Amino acid sequence: MKTSKEYKESLQKMKPNIYKFSELIEDVTMHPATKRTVNGHAQIFDAAQKPEYNDILTTKSSLTGKQIVRYLSIIGSPEDMIANVRMKRLMFNLTGTCTGGRCAGNNAINAMWATTYNMDNDLGTDYHKRIKKWLIDAQERDITISGALTDSKGDRSKSPIQQKDPDMSLHVVEEKEDGIIVRGAKVMICGVAAANEIFIIPGMGYKEQNKDYAVSFVIPRDIENLTIVETRRPSDTREKEEGFDIPVDVGGITQAYLLFENVFVPNKRVFMCKEFDYSLKAVMNFIAPYRAAIGGCVAGQGDVMIGAAALIARANGLSEKIFREKITQMIINNETTFGMGVAASALGMKHPSGVWIPDQLLSNINKIHVATLPYDTKRITQDIAGGIAETGCLPSCQDLNDPKYGTLLKKYLKANCSGETRAKIARLIEWLTIGAGVPGCMHGGGSPDGAKLIINAKTDINYYIEMAKRLADIKEDIRVEPKK
Amino acid sequence: MKTSKEYKESLQKMKPNIYKFSELIEDVTMHPATKRTVNGHAQIFDAAQKPEYNDILTTKSSLTGKQIVRYLSIIGSPEDMIANVRMKRLMFNLTGTCTGGRCAGNNAINAMWATTYNMDNDLGTDYHKRIKKWLIDAQERDITISGALTDSKGDRSKSPIQQKDPDMSLHVVEEKEDGIIVRGAKVMICGVAAANEIFIIPGMGYKEQNKDYAVSFVIPRDIENLTIVETRRPSDTREKEEGFDIPVDVGGITQAYLLFENVFVPNKRVFMCKEFDYSLKAVMNFIAPYRAAIGGCVAGQGDVMIGAAALIARANGLSEKIFREKITQMIINNETTFGMGVAASALGMKHPSGVWIPDQLLSNINKIHVATLPYDTKRITQDIAGGIAETGCLPSCQDLNDPKYGTLLKKYLKANCSGETRAKIARLIEWLTIGAGVPGCMHGGGSPDGAKLIINAKTDINYYIEMAKRLADIKEDIRVEPKK
Amino acid sequence: MKTSKEYKESLQKMKPNIYKFSELIEDVTMHPATKRTVNGHAQIFDAAQKPEYNDILTTKSSLTGKQIVRYLSIIGSPEDMIANVRMKRLMFNLTGTCTGGRCAGNNAINAMWATTYNMDNDLGTDYHKRIKKWLIDAQERDITISGALTDSKGDRSKSPIQQKDPDMSLHVVEEKEDGIIVRGAKVMICGVAAANEIFIIPGMGYKEQNKDYAVSFVIPRDIENLTIVETRRPSDTREKEEGFDIPVDVGGITQAYLLFENVFVPNKRVFMCKEFDYSLKAVMNFIAPYRAAIGGCVAGQGDVMIGAAALIARANGLSEKIFREKITQMIINNETTFGMGVAASALGMKHPSGVWIPDQLLSNINKIHVATLPYDTKRITQDIAGGIAETGCLPSCQDLNDPKYGTLLKKYLKANCSGETRAKIARLIEWLTIGAGVPGCMHGGGSPDGAKLIINAKTDINYYIEMAKRLADIKEDIRVEPKK
Amino acid sequence: MKTSKEYKESLQKMKPNIYKFSELIEDVTMHPATKRTVNGHAQIFDAAQKPEYNDILTTKSSLTGKQIVRYLSIIGSPEDMIANVRMKRLMFNLTGTCTGGRCAGNNAINAMWATTYNMDNDLGTDYHKRIKKWLIDAQERDITISGALTDSKGDRSKSPIQQKDPDMSLHVVEEKEDGIIVRGAKVMICGVAAANEIFIIPGMGYKEQNKDYAVSFVIPRDIENLTIVETRRPSDTREKEEGFDIPVDVGGITQAYLLFENVFVPNKRVFMCKEFDYSLKAVMNFIAPYRAAIGGCVAGQGDVMIGAAALIARANGLSEKIFREKITQMIINNETTFGMGVAASALGMKHPSGVWIPDQLLSNINKIHVATLPYDTKRITQDIAGGIAETGCLPSCQDLNDPKYGTLLKKYLKANCSGETRAKIARLIEWLTIGAGVPGCMHGGGSPDGAKLIINAKTDINYYIEMAKRLADIKEDIRVEPKK
């Protein structure tokens, strides 16, 4: 397994194709727009070698028997999946934010591991063999693989071929002997700057008329004809500044648009090509572990908020005990998303390919919690912190160091600690609650409304009705005609 | 294993010592105040023999290798504990309410199994041997064992010996050669009318001065000098009436006060006697599985509410699809308490005695959800149902059958089904939300405020603070002096 | 103005036509099923004469200049309407529950005062003259007038004439020279047993084909061919018992079904007859003050819950200060519904007839709060109270007085007060939260879903969109074609 | 009354003393850090002259009878106060955010109007005469006056004189014949860059030992020895960029630290000097109208969120009707804070000085809602918007215009409108929910915990207890001894 130094070197060796603010990023490990997220991902390599985190971050490969990082493993059991939830929580604890350049990739690998297994069985394809070969090699190289699912989509009321522009979702434009050519965009993709490769899976289930859009493959991040544009985050230009106004150096989250201008993918890296019937399965296989594990993510960031809130209370001169009721609520919020992730992991079912698929109902219910509870936790953090950590209530680091009035600012910022320390804590809270550290827990891994659709699809209302009828001894059949 | 008929016969053979409304209940299986809860418990015996429920309700005894009902088993693994959560949900599905004459008993057995193991190891007592012998016999006889924990307590700001009346908590008044004599009351005890024996454990942790109150034992329900008084439930006098104003016959919940007037318990049935240091452990060992599994209970009743709500919507002439958002919220509520119970079960730890103890933090967080979410589910049920199922909006069954105006009432009650059927559904909803079927999910198994104390005790705030300090690179030590 | 004694005598003089449990209630002031609600309404007369309540409960008649009870007044200003909200809160404070035999009547008078004004103006009818004459007389006689709006309706997906049975909503079956004959049922009508007359208004807005259902009139409660059946409430049979298991004697709520079997109403008491275009107006004029003032009702009961919760905390030996956070939440809940009622009252508009119509948007938003916040307040009350006040945790009053074990029960119930007092407080909480004192705040005055329809109807989404477009300087026109 | 042009000229005439990023801002009307907030405040002058807004924004001076802007008026009636709540909502509608350079000033004027009236009456001072003279002149000059209350405070567990540094709250360091000299800092003060003068009032109530801190006065913003440092907001460096990444030009919010280094204030501008007994009164007089009116503020921003959410739904190709349930919840949130502000305004009481003081209980309850409901509204906005408007999911405006790949980005951003328009809407939502437009509704005007203290102080728990005792006919006196 790689060291963090080797990991960074592997990124530096890649061809630059990432842009931000019209600038080509030559070295993602050094550029202010990407270095923090690379640092965050590098922590995975460091932590994997520490005894206290080893069990959570690494496991034995089911393919080779060698010790590998979990992010490259096939999730084979409830225990694996629970470890996965813990791993997400740990990485948020260590980086303060999302290391999204690995988890979606890991989920994509697992989703396509299962889906290709079915495809090969049903259709006589050799996709599963391809992914297996590629994965053994990937484990060997210990590479970082981000995952990309979300298409740009265009008008949400229309399917891909109904769009005026056929490129609004990524699609196969040509099948060649030795590979395929694809065009379109995957958007809002997390952590690609920290990745060596990118795993692509369909953004939704498709019917036959949209079969060109049913495509899955894995590519080097710096593949030809792929242009990557990093998006803005709140306060992202602070990243270029000196000082602590971006308070965290050991982690950072980025999201990007991937622009595919006729990218050629060789066959051995293609895992689905127009088998539309399997596109929804791939998505569902992706969703279940993703929406389970994301409960660990937001709990992990919530843990940091508890610490930051208690710390600023003390900095303000107050014991955190005064805020016990609020901190208890933060704990409840954190443990609820974590717990629901664990529960979805514990139930689930074994797919014939060997993948453990968490329970869809509980996973998707967790997605709803993930789209609500962390917002409450953020609000409580700001509540405890007092005005200083709320929006727009702290001068810039540059002003704190101003020769004319910087001393005065620090004089007035001091409380039960130095003014500078108090400002740092306040910046951490801003970063966590309304700044560059906020992850996309509302729509990341799909929207809560999508989760509700699945919850409803998993619900047989007549089962519940019969339960009630039996209890009250009701025999009459009661139907409602559907509206015409 | 017994049949439900044999179970009822075993109750009929016992000596009457249960009262309600100043009347001695001669036969608990026939008396209107107790027959429904006996019916509910009897369903356990019937369901245990059905293939579809067999796995959930029975297991192999770790003591004898024989197939036994789970309620008499030692919970030995996460799988056992998850099955326990499912069992509770199933029984609420089948009875519409609580079969509390078994679950507290089962938790008490497990709690004392672990606690006596430690006591024997530490103190050289033989309590664990006693409980083992008793339990093998109990499994053999397939008896129903309720559990009793809550003391009457008196003034909550004072410990037992600080009370003016030393009897306010159950205590040992005399130790004899062959047993002990106890006095006091256990109150609000669920399902004793349906039980053959009652398992007593301490109501809280005690220090040395209160050591007489650290006592655990198991007794036949009809033991000499024990008087049992059943409490009132909402609308309980309807139980004496004909008709469907108590709409469920196959289940019912009861709670009772147990009055111990110098009850003699032989040594072989005593599992703790003044070993105060183990009283808190016993309570904690009880709480963890109880507060995990109760998430299944309230989910199980919530399932019935979903069915009843959808059914009355149809009875009113409306598709339940109109209420999709509300029903989805009910599902989320149900699956959250169920899921958190599963999660607590999946984490946990193995006690050296062989008992699997669910995770205390998640169990206690679930207790908070159990004390809030079902209230929301009830409210939504009433919301969907329309006025008819809300409080006080439906004439009595007797009036529906009145020769003068009963036909008119039924005429005006009909909608998309007969008036009588619609009335039955409305009664079921009343029973579930504001009637005799409402279980005590707020304080049953302890209060949410008690759960919060445990949550706080399990939280090391400095762990979180250090996490935040590391991220923002803060070195300064910030302390707050405790107030004097 | 009448004394409470005169009020009760006026009820005794009426012809019995109210039934419960197949029994004709001969004297509503003495019969256990109705005497508590009569007592509650009688308190209005007593309180009106007390200086501290005089301003809230009485006002000067805009018709005669004489001092009258507010329940018989035309609401002519924001101040009147705010006093109305306060009056509802006061009466819940004094009776613990709803005195619904007056408020719906008062709202019906005001709604038809405005609606008949428009009808006479538009159509040349003399309805407004009729209602004026009747109202002067009603004020003179100081009578109690309940209001009835809700029809039995039948299948909710069908209009009255689409029902198989044309009687599913109340309708005119014959117009005679001197009056009209009506048939059908008004259901779930509050407080009729305490009323001298009943004011009928349409249950919803009707189009022409349902014009026979657009009917409004006022009748003596004991009019010929009207049969009244009182409904069940939780625990209502306790009303027949001795003791305090129904803990409140000075108030009570009842709801009834009114069965009209060809009731003849003389013209002077008819205020709408088939003028379907005015039926929706009548309903809207009713809804606005009703849904504003109901915020006072639930606040008033919430006040009692605060007191009961604090009292049982003390009875348990605990200072209510321990529960400060919870009690604060109860206060917030209460003052929010009260405040929103005040706000709807303060905004509003003056109808040309002289009636002040509260703001429809705020009134209907308050209806949503009224359908949620009190449920939270009840839950908190049970939370603070501990197990004793939760469902089914207290023996009956009869058992407390049992010669054999009653003394023991009281011994074990005592805490920081006598066992009997503690039991009384627990019964009060049961009565308030899950017993006979619970009012129908979910669907009373209409359902929250109905309120949401009005909120949406009052919302011009394009107004908000243009606001956003202006701010972000967006010129492009963005439309979505409606689905076909 | 001034035009917006005259207003801006008045700001340009002032001496520069505002800094940000170590730069002295020469012209607040042109500098990117301040021009948007000046634009926002300038809209007040424009809108005041439009007939549709005239009633809301202007009123007749109670001092001179001339038409003045409400922000310079004495609030003399419920109608005035309700207009004030509406004015705040309107200004948020027009600017998208806070025009905080006027409202705190207006509240400070009113608070000291009442407080000085009492002081002059009680103590024989001439403060009320001073403020009256100053206010007539201020109305004549039509100046913009911001208000400053919050001290830097230091250690929150200590009073000002207990701090190691006596300057941690603003205080009088010298009394001279013709005026006073003050030192300290007021922090997080809104909108000073848009103001001509700043009105200072005490940050809390003081006892005698802290009497030097009981000080109130009004000063020109550019007074000698006052240094102002603007704070950072999320994404504030975008303000220096071209394009729409700060999407709103017509409004903006700023907050600043005011550093008083021995500022001399002439007597005629001093309204309190060491009269500590009146400091708490001043604060309470400030809080009531502030916490009532802030309900209008957050409703006003919520209105914009409704529009932005509906607009992006359409841009995504979806009808906003799909999100009806969510939009209804947004409306409920908005109207609740607005309504509670109206209710507090409608109740209240007339101070002898002529000021109408809104109801303290309802005002402070509204503060709680203001600290919770807008967070929910923001969350729903992000929920409806889809991923694009969530954190970090949109490339920069500069990248959208990149010659190499800008066209591609816009291609993939288009949906039911152009890519650029869709990006603009998404930026507006980011700005409103997690960007520079977010106002400080948690701690602005004081913290929710402070509001809870007042709510509790206004609550006589025994009043509620007696209410409950009367209902359940309980005579026993139940007391809990305070813990020693």
Nearest CA distance, D481 vs chain B (angstrom): 10
pLDDT category of residue B481 using cuts at 50, 70 and 90:
confident
Residue C206, pLDDT > 80, answer: yes
The residue to which tokens 């009052």 are assigned: C458
**d(C-alpha B334, C-alpha B342), whole Å:** 12
Handedness of CA A186, A189, A194, A196 (dihedral sign): negative
CB neighbours of residue D132 within 10 Å: 17
Residue A483, pLDDT > 80, answer: no
Q: Which of A215, A222, A244 is nearest to A27 (CA)?
A: A222
Q: Please compute the mean of the pLDDT values over residues D390-417 and round it to a whole number.
A: 96
Secondary structure class of C150 (helix, strand, coil): coil
Residue B483, pLDDT > 80, answer: no
- Angstrom CA distances, D439 to A46, C35, C280, stand at 40, 56, 42
Which residues 311-330 on chain C approach chain B with CB closer than 8 angstroms?
316-318
Partners of residue A383 in chain C, C-beta under 8 Å: none
B:C CB pairs within 8 Å: 251
Model confidence pLDDT, tens digit, residues D331-364: 999 999 999 999 999 999 999 999 999 999 999 9
**Chains near A, with 3+ CB pairs < 8 A?**
B, C, D
Nearest CA distance, C407 vs chain B (angstrom): 11
Q: Does A415 touch chain B (CB under 8 A)?
A: no
> Which pLDDT score is estimated for D482?
73
Model confidence pLDDT, tens digit, residues B206-250: 999 999 999 999 999 999 999 999 999 999 999 999 999 999 999
Q: Which of B358, B376, B355, B354 is nearest to B366 (CA)?
A: B358
Q: Does D407 touch chain A (CB under 8 A)?
A: no
Q: Does D415 touch chain C (CB under 8 A)?
A: no
Q: Does A131 touch chain B (CB under 8 A)?
A: no
**What are the E-state strand segments in D10-87?**
18-20, 23-24, 58-60, 67-69
**Chains near C, with 3+ CB pairs < 8 A?**
A, B, D
**d(C-alpha D459, C-alpha D463), whole Å:** 8
Percent of chain D with pLDDT over 90: 97
> Which pLDDT score is estimated for A484?
58
Residue D327, pLDDT > 80, answer: yes
**d(C-alpha D229, C-alpha D257), whole Å:** 5
Residue A482, pLDDT > 80, answer: no
A169 DSSP 8-state letter: S
Partners of residue D245 in chain C, C-beta under 8 Å: none
Model confidence pLDDT, tens digit, residues A94-116: 999 999 999 999 999 999 999 99
Residue A277, pLDDT > 80, answer: yes
Partners of residue D328 in chain C, C-beta under 8 Å: 452, 455-456
Asked if the Cβ–Cβ distance from D480 to C368 is below 8 Å, we say: no
**What are the E-state strand segments in A154-281?**
171-176, 179-190, 197-200, 215-220, 226-230, 255-266, 270-273
pLDDT category of residue D110 using cuts at 50, 70 and 90:
very high
pLDDT category of residue D483 using cuts at 50, 70 and 90:
low
Q: Does D154 touch chain A (CB under 8 A)?
A: yes
Q: What chain A residue is nearest to D433 in terms of C-alpha separation? A: A434
Partners of residue D325 in chain B, C-beta under 8 Å: 325
Model confidence pLDDT, tens digit, residues A311-351: 999 999 999 999 999 999 999 999 999 999 999 999 999 99
Which residues 202-261 on chain B approach chain C with CB closer than 8 angstroms?
227, 229-238, 245, 253-255, 257, 259, 261
> Which pLDDT score is estimated for C483?
67
- Which helix (H) or strand (E) element contains residue D109? helix D100-123
Nearest CA distance, C232 vs chain D (angstrom): 22
Contact predicate D247/C471, CB 8 Å: yes
Option in D157, D259, D438 nearest A405 (CB): D259
Model confidence pLDDT, tens digit, residues A41-79: 999 999 999 999 999 999 999 999 999 999 999 999 999
> Which pLDDT score is estimated for B484?
58
Asked if the Cβ–Cβ distance from A234 to D234 is below 8 Å, we say: yes
Q: What chain A residue is nearest to C479 in terms of C-alpha separation? A: A155
Model confidence pLDDT, tens digit, residues B345-396: 999 999 999 999 999 999 999 999 999 999 999 999 999 999 999 887 899 9
pTM summary value: 0.97
Structure tokens at C76: 């002519």
**d(C-alpha C433, C-alpha C436), whole Å:** 9
DSSP-assigned letters across all residues of A348-380: -EE-TTS-EE--HHHHHHHHHHHTTHHHHHHHH
Q: Does C413 touch chain B (CB under 8 A)?
A: yes
Structure tokens at A357: 């698929």
Model confidence pLDDT, tens digit, residues C41-89: 999 999 999 999 999 999 999 999 999 999 999 999 999 999 999 999 9
Domains of chain D (ranges plus CATH)? 4-281 (2.40.110.10), 287-461 (1.20.140.10)
Q: Long-range contacts made by residues B131-135, C-beta under 8 angstroms, separation at least 24?
A: B131/B271, B132/B63, B133/B268, B134/B218, B134/B268, B134/B269, B135/B63, B135/B72, B135/B74, B135/B109
Model confidence pLDDT, tens digit, residues B391-402: 878 999 999 999
Residue B68, pLDDT > 80, answer: yes
Residue B109, pLDDT > 90, answer: yes
Contacts for C450 with CB less than 8 Å, ≥ 6 apart? none
Q: Please compute the mean of the pLDDT values over residues D94-116 and round it to a whole number.
A: 97
**d(C-alpha A182, C-alpha A261), whole Å:** 7
Model confidence pLDDT, tens digit, residues B114-165: 999 999 999 999 999 999 999 999 999 999 999 999 999 999 999 999 999 9
Nearest CA distance, B107 vs chain C (angstrom): 19
Q: Does A480 touch chain C (CB under 8 A)?
A: yes
Partners of residue B371 in chain C, C-beta under 8 Å: 379, 383
Q: Does C62 touch chain B (CB under 8 A)?
A: no
Asked if the Cβ–Cβ distance from B20 to C399 is below 8 Å, we say: yes
Q: What chain C residue is nearest to B392 in terms of C-alpha separation? A: C233
**d(C-alpha C334, C-alpha C337), whole Å:** 6
Q: Does C187 touch chain B (CB under 8 A)?
A: yes
Lowest mean pLDDT among B194-198, C123-127, C300-304, C386-390: C386-390
- Average pLDDT, rounded, for chain D: 97
Partners of residue A229 in chain D, C-beta under 8 Å: 395, 399, 402, 405, 409
Asked if the Cβ–Cβ distance from C480 to A157 is below 8 Å, we say: yes
Residue D8, pLDDT > 70, answer: yes
Contact predicate D257/D229, CB 8 Å: yes
DSSP-assigned letters across all residues of D205-262: ---GGGGGG-EEEEEETT-TTEEEEEPB-TTGGGGGSSSSSS--SS----EEEEEEEE
CB neighbours of residue A249 within 10 Å: 15
Contacts for B16 with CB less than 8 Å, ≥ 6 apart? B24, B25, B26, B27, B222
Q: Does B156 touch chain D (CB under 8 A)?
A: no
Cα C23 from chain centroid (whole Å): 26
Nearest CA distance, A250 vs chain B (angstrom): 7
